[in-house]
Structure 1
């Protein structure tokens, strides 16, 4: 392999990218300022749950092609291509993205770039960030303009991150020179024949935010239809099914329920709105405010449905909650609709017990005031109302009869429209779901 790679930042994106590039045969050095995380990664211990990632990580470590450090000096000396994968969370009290971590990464790396090198941003950033960082990189690096920037947005789905890295549906390269394009084409050559879009910085930055905004809009559209269906006594599941047969619309991301969450979609659409406002194009994205509002209303409606089944008040009511992660196959609880609902019910007087197959440790740290079960049956034991909030396969496979034996009353709200309503009703359950009669 002609290039040695570094990966700056070891969150979901960074760990996955580093491990997968090592799996493709590259020598890779991952960097994080968290010494404990670096030590764990060098021991093959993942700080996140991502299906299929641990064996890829261990293969890289065992082969000697992958290791992790806290030293920017070492990274600068080691790498020819430096991928920047740090987080850009939402600013506290604002819609805008916090780009301080990516600024700090560039400021820390640049002084150690004394030869021709390519720094590749993969983080999701407000449009215009790359141009600013390219100038800063050239000003701070001893190599000057030989330390070049490119922008290469990621399109990973949590739960499918390894697959999406090794078998991407497209690669977007935002570049300013033929050299940068050539280097990145060569770096990604082992992936095979993947559609590649070569463009400028602002377009590359916009691709990710536009994609996330479209997906969020599609999810909120079907949840808006769920609101109408509830008012009209229609069935949003059947509505969604009928729409899905239209190939102009399709069925993906048309699943009505509790809405989207996690560390990407909510903060990315808010940052997109904020940046559009700064550019004077805020009217173009005013619809995203309603997309966000619809999404948040689903959480409130879930609490209302649970309260209805509880008899109008949560006081003295035991609520069994199945699911805390924002989606199945993840331990991520950032902006999780499931956790938001559980915490809200707890605040309103409900005795909440939560079970999640993977995310329980993260939830315990964040909300020690809640109770936790060691299994689904444990979580719903003695419950007056059961809530399905994350559609783990384990929950979809539950036996309604077995669950009915341990609850106080057979009442369930399906927050993901994932269960077989007739099977649960046949087992004597009062079954409710968002957007359904």
Structure 2
């Protein structure tokens, strides 16, 4: 058994984007010395100055707190990271390949290679990035090859996969008090430790129980399994959530045609404990950097391993989701009669509230399509304007709800920020030119708006 288990563990987090920066700060909060690693000097300098390049509630305070305590610092030097760390978390991005559905593993491979060539002491490498099933076993062999090429023979190296389940807007809570911890190793937890692979797996699991001792002590469930199950858990979770969202949106299409109220339907379904109410919110659909990418990546991997038929339903999930954007654009076109020159206020461009993430955002897509059709579109999001402007600079971004809705022929509530959920007709009536609103997130009371003289449309509900 390695002497690592008898010393204070030191942690590196490789990749300091959303996942990595959150994990690094939270590991420091759990009491560890942490070194964040990234190849981007500008990002490292910004984080070292206590400045986050994204919005996440509670994280700036945690970052600055542990920069001050000295538990957290940052570097671009992999040699320094290898010498410093006992446990190395890999948290780099796995974007969708351009023009394909499969995941791009360039950053994962580069991170592991860059670290492994310097490792000459006991170390546990822990993958947190979302990867196609089969990646961990491939990386395990690659680690040995890289070390051999660079003459690194000291110490024992183990690999584990520990998927993240962060919700944007609640990432700090989800890291410090997770609802479950999943650890995948080269053999299942029930394997007999009678060979090198099983012994390595046992060692990795013991190290990670130490890393996560605090949440485990409060009752967080720990699932110890093999590489493949751990890799599949994250994409399976996201595929299921996407399925629930598209399921209720499919029924939203039905209620729009035959009548009914999708919110009441969802409430009724949600009382069934087997189904639950969460994620049964009909609207303009899901987006962000995880659900769309992960369900497409899962389809691509399923095709590669001969399971295309089993995952075929995901194609329809994706199609239903995209059709909800079409529906909002259709409603807007119908309500203003002529898009060219119409003044449209879009409230929200982040894919969800409490985030500035606009990747694959339904709200931004709708705004851009209306602009491309000739509308004069004003956009206001409490956090997402800057990121949206980088992706689609031609929209008119403003700094307040009042500016966005001034003189509007149509208002579209596209992201359910609390500021927008609290809107009342009297808040907008004096500002807009026409009293017309599309509630693309189903968060407002249609009766209240109709009684105030507004033409009100919501997805899956009777027009008012």
Is the 2:121–2:155 contact (alpha carbons within 8 Å) kept by the matching residues of 1?
A: no
How far does residue 231 in structure 1 lie from its aligned partner after superposition? 1.0
Corresponding residue of 1:153: 163
Q: CA deviation at 1:343?
A: 0.1
| Structure 1 counterpart SS, 2:124 | strand
CA distance in 2, matches of 1:144, 1:352: 61
1:426 aligns with 2:426: no
Which residue of 1 is the match for residue 212 of structure 2?
A: 188
Give the CA deviation at 1:144.
7.2
Aligned equivalents of 1:299, 1:329: Cα separation in 2: 21
2-structure distance, mates of 1:174, 1:354: 44
Matched, 1:412 2:437: yes
Check 1:414–1:144 CA distance in 2 against 1; reply closer, same or farther (3 A cut).
farther
Aligned equivalent of 1:118: 124
Deviation at 1:7, TM superposition (A): 0.1
- Which range is displaced more, 143-152 or 382-391? 143-152
What are the equivalent positions in structure 2 for 1:162-311 lying under 5 Å apart? 162-176=172-186, 177-191=201-215, 192=217, 193-311=219-337
CA RMSD of aligned residues (A): 1.0
Of residues 143, 159, 163, the one that matches 1:137 is 143
TM-score (norm 2): 0.93
Is 1:390 aligned with 2:400? no
Counterpart of 2:382 in structure 1 is: 357
Is residue 151–residue 201 contact of structure 1 (8 Å, CA) maintained in 2?
yes
| Contact 2:343–2:409 (8 Å) recurs in 1 | yes
Counterparts of 1:44 and 1:145, CA distance in 2:
35
Q: What secondary structure, in the 3-state scheme, does the structure 2 residue paired with 1:285 have?
A: coil
Q: Does 1:327 align with 2:352?
A: yes
- 1:290 counterpart SS class: helix
CA distance in 2, matches of 1:316, 1:5: 56
Whole-angstrom CA distance in 2 between matches of 1:78 and 1:419: 53
Indicate conservation of the 8 Å contact 2:120/2:155, yes or no. no
CA distance in 1, matches of 2:456, 2:343: 17
SS of the residue 2:117 aligns to: helix
Summarize deviations over 1:365-421 as a string: whole Å, max 9, x none: 222211122211110111101000000001111231130111110000000001121
Distance in 2 (alpha carbons) for counterparts of 1:397 and 1:234: 24
- The corresponding residue for 1:59 is 65
1:57 Cα deviation from its structure 2 partner = 0.7
Where 1:352 maps in the other structure, the secondary structure is strand
SS in 1 for 2:56: coil
> Please, which moves more after superposition, 418-427 or 339-348?
418-427
Moved more, 422-431 or 86-95: 422-431
Indicate the residue corresponding to 2:52 in structure 1. 46
**1: distance between equivalents of 2:242 and 2:225?**
24
What is the CA-CA distance between 1:250 and the residue it aligns to?
0.7
| Kept after mapping to 2: 8 A contact 1:118/1:148 | yes
Distance 2:359 2:427 in 1: 32
Give unmatched runs, 5+ long, in structure 2: 1-6, 187-200
Q: Which runs of 4+ in 1 moved over 4 A?
A: none
Give the count of matched residue pairs.
Answer: 436
Q: Indicate conservation of the 8 Å contact 2:123/2:155, yes or no.
A: no
Q: How big is the shift at 1:145?
A: 8.0
Distance, in Å, in 2 between the alignment partners of 1:256 and 1:411 is 20
Q: Say which SS state the counterpart of residue 374 (structure 2) adopts.
A: coil
Q: Does structure 2 conserve the Cα–Cα contact (< 8 Å) formed by 1:6 and 1:82?
A: yes
Instruction: Supply the distance in 2 between the matched residues of 1:426 and 1:357 (Cα, whole angstroms).
Output: 29
Q: 1:426 to 1:105 in 2, by over 3 A?
A: same
Shift of 1:32: 0.9
Contact 1:324–1:389 under 8 Å retained in 2: yes
Asked whether the 8 Å contact 1:126–1:271 carries over to 2, the reply is yes
**Distance in 2 separating the partners of 1:395 and 1:317:** 22
Residue 308 of structure 1, CA deviation:
1.0
SS class of match (2:303): helix
